[in-house]
Amino acid sequence: MKDILIQGRYRVDRKIGEGGFGLVYSGTDLDNGNEVAIKIMESRNDPRELKEEADTYRALAGKVGIPQVYWFGEEGSYYVLVLELLGPSLEDLFNYCDRRFSLKTILLIADQAISRIEDIHGHVLHRDIKPDNFLMGISKQGNILYTIDFGLAREFFDDKQDRGYQGLPFGGTTRYASIKNHKGLEQSWGDDLESLGYMLPYFARGSLPWQGLKAATEDKKRELVQQKKMALSGEELCRDLLPAEFAKYIDYTRSLGFQVKPDYRYLRTLFRTRFQSEGFKYDNVFDWTIKRFDDIHESVENQNSAR
């Protein structure tokens, strides 16, 4: 079978995922043998989101945890974005670890994620913070948390009235959406951080209290989720699962006004202080690191015993 090549250089190898506006493949850069990610969408679709995503990656180039763009353009009847290949998402790793992360791993994730969001906020709002959009790097970057999928990202203009525009359509992912997003208000910096705040108890408990709610329509379901979120304080979300710092984080990010820039250092310090008080070490040993080691060790033992 003939190879599919992009610009005569990037070979399409196998499908590894798909999003709202395209398929994602792993590929090979034939000039240097490096693996790449190739995001493809048909030319008949509006290419603006894919182009804006490429532009956002380029604007954030050089920041830790932002994948490098190698090429974007039109190839035949497709628009193509060629990126640095990354490893599994936090959602993938969560499933691999039997849908529970330890406190140490959650604190390590929170520390890196806040830094990524702060860097992103120097240019845009992400507007779809969720476990699927955080990926670990590969090889020497295997302990670096990356942020992807800027299809919903927008610049933030703080010259609007305090509450921002109202009556806006919902955007993003219901499970992790901020309360302001549910209410149809313009999103701000705090909304991305609030979404991260819902990821953290999710990792500790395996689900969130508003998952599984039933309704006749998606709009009705989102309304039920909104009501459930508003009824639960940070303390109630984290009770018996996570230390008080996590409740403080959630309550703080929810309280931020439209034009109020978050204190990212304060939020990182919350978690770093707890990390140190627990006696943890910054050794980049995550739950999946240990499980992978144990799985490999068990596989070797099984092979030896079968001989």
Binding-site residue numbers for ATP are 39
Residue 99 and residue 202: Cα distance in Å, rounded?
9
Name the one residue in this structure whose structure tokens are 């079978």: 1
**Does the annotation count 128 as an active-site position?**
yes
Q: How far apart are CA 223 and CA 174, in angstroms?
A: 10
46, 128, 158, 283: the active-site residue:
128
Binding residues: 39
Residue 153: Cβ-neighbour burial (10 angstroms; 0-12, 13-18, 19+) = buried
C-alpha torsion sign, points 96, 100, 104, 105: positive
Distance CA 136, CA 127 (A): 20
Residue 84: which of 34, 12, 22, 30 has the closest Cα?
Answer: 34
Q: How far apart are CA 142 and CA 302, in angstroms?
A: 27
Residue 190, CA distances (Å) to 230, 253, 296 in order: 16, 5, 41
Q: Just list the catalytic residues.
A: 128
